[in-house]
Amino acid sequence: MHSLLSRGNAILAYTLSVLACLTFLCFLSTLFVDYRTNSTINTVKVIVKSVPDFSASRERSDLGFLIFDLQANLTHLFNWNVKQLFLYLTAEYSTPNNILSQVVIWDKIILRGENAVLDFKSMNTKYYFWDDGNGLKGNQNVTLTLSWNIIPNAGLLPSIFAIGHHSFQFPSDYVQSRV
């Protein structure tokens, strides 16, 4: 006869095996879902300032300020395997010092059950748009892109780029401010 402990161990091992199989099937059921959608981004106001850089050097750096509009409908991204979305807006540009610079300027977390229709007007950036030199002043090609990470119940953590982006340029003159 088997002891109570060995029977409990067999039941627990069988239950965990069934749960692992069900979790894997849950992952497979949403593996090929297309999580891309359209987004519309527009810059309302763009300025650049020259501010002191308080790092080791005593030089000045560029600080960009943006006011932007953002529209996207993300409701169809939620299914039973999606817990939340982590949205972030990135700015990509190149300077003589750096071939590619990427800066996250805004982010938001949307939980399942929350309103997933984005219709933001005249939003300020959430994070500073610093450049490690003078690469923003007069920069002709800065691209804003909306991206998101899907946090699932089971499976991969994909990073998805929205369909559509917005390119703009910074002014060639600094805005004067009190320092």
Query: Could you tell me which residue, 130 or 41, shows the higher pLDDT?
Result: 41
What's the chain's average pLDDT? 90
Render pLDDT for 16-26 as a digit per residue (tens, 0 to 9): 999 999 888 88
Tell me the average pLDDT across 28-33: 87
Question: In which residue are the tokens 């990470």 written?
Answer: 149
d(CA 46, CA 109): 25
pTM of the model: 0.85
Burial class (CB in 10 A: 0-12, 13-18, 19+), 144: buried
CATH 3.40.470 fits 33-168, yes or no: no
Where in the chain are the domains? Answer: 1-32, 33-168
Position 26 scores a pLDDT of 84
pLDDT of 95 strictly over 50: yes
Q: Is 40 within 8 Å of 71 (Cβ atoms)?
A: yes
Render pLDDT for 55-82 as a digit per residue (tens, 0 to 9): 656 678 888 999 999 999 999 999 989 9
Position 145 scores a pLDDT of 96
Position 98 scores a pLDDT of 84
Q: Is 112 within 8 Å of 82 (Cβ atoms)?
A: yes
Render pLDDT for 105-146 as a digit per residue (tens, 0 to 9): 999 999 999 999 999 999 999 999 988 888 888 888 999 999
